[in-house]
Amino acid sequence: MEHHRPFRGRLYCLSELATNAIVHTGAEGEYFDVEVSLADGCLRVEVRDLTWRKPQVQSPTPNDTSGRGLLLVDALADGWEVEPCVPHGKTVWTEFKIEEPSPFPAGATPC
């Protein structure tokens, strides 16, 4: 079954992955890169940082004030994963299946 996520869900996932890169990468002054691509009906968002530390889905209690981000990414995205980068760092990516708009107006028949 194909899922179509609203724009806000996609933006939330980008925000979560970028925030994780800022908060959990370690030393001050480190940076991260964001790459967004669209191919074959799939929007892919990648966030690269310089640490090997792999983000983990947490199991927060109702009283915890953090730890829900990747749970929400998992629920909103059609897929996500962490891949190591050579020579150092990692990429966390998330993907969304999207409907590509038709190049023809509704009801029009291509010639």
Taking residues 83-105, report their average pLDDT. 84
Answer yes or no: is pLDDT of 84 > 90: yes
The pLDDT of residue 34: 94
Rounded Cα gap, residues 86 and 90, in angstroms: 8
* 27-60 pLDDT, tens digit each: 666 788 999 999 999 999 999 998 888 888 999 9
CATH number of 7-58+66-97, picked from 2.60.40.1150, 3.30.830.10, 3.30.565.10, 3.40.50.300 = 3.30.565.10
Give the percent of the chain with pLDDT over 90.
Answer: 49
The pair of three-digit structure tokens given for residue 10, joined into one six-digit string = 């996609």
The pLDDT of residue 110: 63
The pLDDT of residue 39: 92
Give the residue extent of every domain in the chain. 7-58+66-97
The residue behind tokens 């899922």 is 3
> How many Cβ atoms from other residues are within 10 Å of residue 77's Cβ?
23
The pLDDT of residue 9: 86
User: 28 or 7: which carries more pLDDT confidence?
Assistant: 7
Compute CA distances 27 → 15, 37, 51, whole Å: 20, 29, 10
Rounded Cα gap, residues 34 and 42, in angstroms: 16
